[in-house]
Amino acid sequence: AAGVIQSPRHLIKEKRETATLKCYPIPRHDTVYWYQQGPGQDPQFLISFYEKMQSDKGSIPDRFSAQQFSDYHSELNMSSLELGDSALYFCASRRVRTEAFFGQGTRLTVV
């Protein structure tokens, strides 16, 4: 069965650079959630989208933006990267009345 695909799996960027993380939901899933998990920290909800519209917003820094496209994939854009942005970024997808399924995550390292 198709799962949630995240790309890239690993990313290394320098401070002040920009990074784009992608999430491809399970087919027919219309909702995407983004989470950030720093080293040794609890996961933090960033933002979610339903039917290509932002539906909920968590602790997402102003330097980050995200959107969901017409094919339901989502991208998280991160600018002016800081060392503290180094983390695992997970996305999850679901469709109405089902559980959420998580991707394998993207490990971002800012050096």
Among 14, 40, 70, 83, binds other proteins (CB under 8 A): 40
Cβ within 8 Å of residue 43, ≥6 positions away: 35, 36, 37, 90
Pairing assessment for the beta strands 106-110 and 10-13 based on DSSP bridges: parallel
| Region of 17-25, 68-76, 78-86, 98-106 interacting with other proteins (CB under 8 A) | 98-106
List own/partner pairs for 82-85 with CB under 8 A and 24 or more apart: 82/15, 82/110, 83/15, 83/110, 83/111, 84/38, 84/110, 85/110
Measured distance CA(93)–CA(10) in Å, rounded: 20
| Region of 7-15, 33-41, 66-74, 78-86 interacting with other proteins (CB under 8 A) | 33-41
Among 11, 13, 22, 45, binds other proteins (CB under 8 A): 45
Among 85, 90, 108, 110, binds other proteins (CB under 8 A): 90
52 binds other proteins (CB under 8 A): no
Q: Residues interacting with other proteins, by CB under 8 A?
A: 30-31, 33, 37, 40, 42-43, 45, 48, 50-51, 55-56, 88, 90, 92, 94-97, 99-105
